[in-house]
Amino acid sequence: MLHYLDHIENIDAPALVLLHGYGSNMHDLYSLKAYLPPVNIICLQAPKVLENEAFAWYDINWDNGAKIIDSAEVASAAIEVQNAILSWIDSHKIRGKLLIGGFSQGAILSLAILKSAFKADGYVIMSGYMLPEWRDEYLEIDIPVLQTHGTMDQVIPFDWAKSGTELIRGNHFKFKSYPMAHNLNGDCIQDVSEFLEQF
């Protein structure tokens, strides 16, 4: 089981799984709890140790200045996360709806889980994007999905995120942009909070 930090509101409340970004840890997104509606929260910690208190879900290799991500490694990480989620739900007897979200690398991983048809009731994709290998077919969804991104993001360019959304089809999909860099501003957090309230 992956390391995690959690808060149990009650077993019938919605459960929000949060996946941190590259070089961060399980404490990072847990700070969002104060701004969200009453939900059960579990912040999982990635297994790859980069340095003290810095972790990653999968490697990012640099070649001639370009970030290279192995989609097979992302898929493997997605399976590990799914198993951790199911184990946590079972051990805490969680009965509410399941929501999965993440920031940056965690958002890419969340998209991988969404593509795998894992049974969840909604997704929050924050400052992530669809990998090029995933763009050979449309992603049909029938559950609520909110994707957010900063127009001034210098880590994952806004155009990368926006172009991927054109391949997502579903009446419950929303893409929202904000004048922010690779972070979450107040308006973004407010939209995430309002999105969660529907569950």
pLDDT reported for residue 68: 87
Average pLDDT for runs of 10 along the chain of length 199: 96 98 98 97 98 95 78 96 98 97 98 95 97 91 97 96 95 97 98 98
pLDDT reported for residue 170: 94
Domain that holds residue 120: 4-197
In CATH, what number is assigned to the domain containing residue 180? 3.40.50.1820
What element of type H or E holds 66? strand 66-68
SS3 198: coil
Mention every residue, 6+ apart, whose C-beta is less than 8 A from residue 81. 2, 17, 19, 44, 57, 109, 113
pLDDT reported for residue 43: 98
Number of domains in the chain: 1
pLDDT reported for residue 64: 61
Cβ neighbours, 10 Å, residue 181: 13
Global pTM value: 0.96
pLDDT reported for residue 196: 98
Q: Output the six-digit token pair for 185.
A: 């501003």
Contact (Cβ atoms closer than 8 angstroms) between residue 123 and residue 146: yes
